[in-house]
Chains A and B, each alone.
Chain A
Amino acid sequence: MSVAILRQGDYLIASIQVDLSDSQVLELRDELSERIGRVRARGLIIDVAALDVIDSFVARSLGSIAITARLRGAETVITGIEPDVAIAMVQFDLDLAPLRTALDLDEALSLLDRLTQGAGEDEA
């Protein structure tokens, strides 16, 4: 399996295991959207550490996963972006603002807790 998707309480945790092709990224997008609706997840964490690079296509896909998830009632947090990958990502003039990020799983979980508790958020 190239992506392990676990359920933890109200959250889904998608842990990418290997570098993905574009079609696999799109499959993941559809799969996550479907699952969020099915289990009524309120939060989604995607661990992208196994991706070799996050180029404009992958960054855009992650953004659209986040937007789709929100439409289906879940907040998305991306985790596992390495320094070199982050440096490459900011070279594209992409609007990365829709991507919420956290340093690791613990951080991602507590960020989701905050986001899904009240509406209160002043995250930059």
Chain B
Amino acid sequence: MNQEDQSHEDPSPQMPEVDRSLLHELVAYLRDNRTELREEWVARITQAQLLGVMTPEEIFSEVTAVYDNYVDALETGSIETLQAYARDLSERIIPRGVETHEVLGIVLLLRDVLARALFVEYQRDADLLNRILDAYEPAANRIAVTVSVSFVEERERVIREQQEAIRELSTPVLQVRDRLLILPIIGVLDSARARQLTEQLLGAIQANRAKVVVIDITGVATIDLTVANHLVQTVEAARLMGASAIITGLSSKIAQTLVDLGVDLSMMRTVGDLQGGLEEAERLIGHRPTAKGSRPDAAAP
């Protein structure tokens, strides 16, 4: 970008050292004309119908902050502050549905607005104009890339979290028959997910007036102490609501882990596999005659 400069010989990989003095002039110009340039930028943003989800006041205040950070970055050659601001801004606007093309659009607009202003300001001296643009362009491009990349990274982070949430939400509590629920747990159990499963299960117990829940952990590969204790608490909480819980699919590896961790399994009813668990559940339900036909029917093979 800053190749063969006419006055200096040191193409530094960082900011173009060559044009430091010009940058100062540039920065002074941008500060002096802050009000008009900022307004021009806002006008162009509105015209291009970018940031439609934000109010004009919000746009103006964000634009002001970006403008000032932008000029500072030009002056100091350090983009850290701008980068931090861009992350923060992205975090705020992503949930409101601002899209990548809008962010790219606004930074490119700023670049254009400023370039055009420089052009007008220095057009009488073509040589100076050239050198000013040489100083401006690489810095401006670097800033545009920084802001856009910050936004995209932030957006990717949000999408990852969203996917995680969807995966979590997709663990179903199945009603097998009247008053009997199955909670098949598959995948990695961390404490956040365990907590969520507990809430889901207890809510389902209430909604279905469940008497027995079978928690099948065949699909769980490993378990740690926190999660194990959580499981014990879930069983106890279900009991407090009046439902019995049966754990099935406890692999010998997990059983060993639980024993090694010293988890108190005495309160837990465990049955080898899901089939056995369901039979045990039928027995428990049938054991208590209630209003509806909850005698053990012939369903269990």
Specify the chain A residue showing the minimal Cβ separation from B179.
A103
Report whether A101 and B198 are in contact in the complex, using a CB–CB cutoff of 8 Å: no
Instruction: Give the residue of B241, B244, B269 whose beta carbon is less than 8 angstroms from that of A86.
Output: B241
Contacts of A34 in B (CB 8 A): none
Report whether A89 and B244 are in contact in the complex, using a CB–CB cutoff of 8 Å: no
Measured between C-beta atoms, what is the minimum distance from A46 to chain B in Å? 13
Contacts of A85 in B (CB 8 A): 240
Specify the chain A residue showing the minimal Cβ separation from B207.
A83
Instruction: Give the residue of A83, A96, A97, A99 whose beta carbon is less than 8 angstroms from that of B206.
Output: A83
Q: Does B11 contact A (CB under 8 A)?
A: no
Q: Does B17 contact A (CB under 8 A)?
A: no
A110 vs B203: C-alpha distance in the bound complex, in angstroms? Answer: 23
* Binary interface encoding of chain A residues 87-109 relative to chain B, with 1 for a CB under 8 A from any of its CBs, else 0: 10111000011010111101100
- Count of A-B contacts judged by CB separation below 8 Å: 65
Main secondary structure of the interface of A (DSSP, over half): mixed
Contacts A104-B209, A124-B269 given: A81-B290 contact, CB under 8 Å?
no
Measured between C-beta atoms, what is the minimum distance from A34 to chain B in Å? 27
A124 vs B205: C-alpha distance in the bound complex, in angstroms? Answer: 18
Q: Does B289 contact A (CB under 8 A)?
A: yes
Q: Does A52 contact B (CB under 8 A)?
A: no
Report whether A103 and B211 are in contact in the complex, using a CB–CB cutoff of 8 Å: yes
| Total B residues in contact with A, Cβ cutoff 8 Å | 25
Measured between C-beta atoms, what is the minimum distance from A70 to chain B in Å? 19
Report whether A107 and B240 are in contact in the complex, using a CB–CB cutoff of 8 Å: no
A124 vs B287: C-alpha distance in the bound complex, in angstroms? Answer: 13
Q: Does A111 contact B (CB under 8 A)?
A: yes
Report the contact-size class of chain A (Cβ under 8 Å from the partner).
20 to 34
Instruction: Give the residue of B199, B203, B237, B288 whose beta carbon is less than 8 angstroms from that of A89.
Output: B237
Specify the chain A residue showing the minimal Cβ separation from B269.
A124
A114 vs B237: C-alpha distance in the bound complex, in angstroms? Answer: 23
Contacts of B203 in A (CB 8 A): 83
30 contacts between A and B (CB under 8 A): A78-B240, A79-B242, A81-B240, A81-B241, A82-B241, A83-B202, A83-B203, A83-B205, A83-B206, A83-B237, A86-B237, A86-B238, A86-B241, A87-B198, A89-B237, A90-B240, A96-B240, A99-B240, A101-B239, A101-B240, A101-B241, A102-B242, A103-B205, A103-B206, A103-B210, A103-B211, A103-B241, A107-B211, A110-B288, A114-B288
Give residues in A with beta carbon < 8 Å to B: 78-79, 81-83, 85-87, 89-91, 96-97, 99, 101-104, 106-107, 110-111, 114, 124
Give residues in B with beta carbon < 8 Å to A: 198-199, 202-203, 205-206, 209-211, 233, 236-244, 267, 269, 288-291
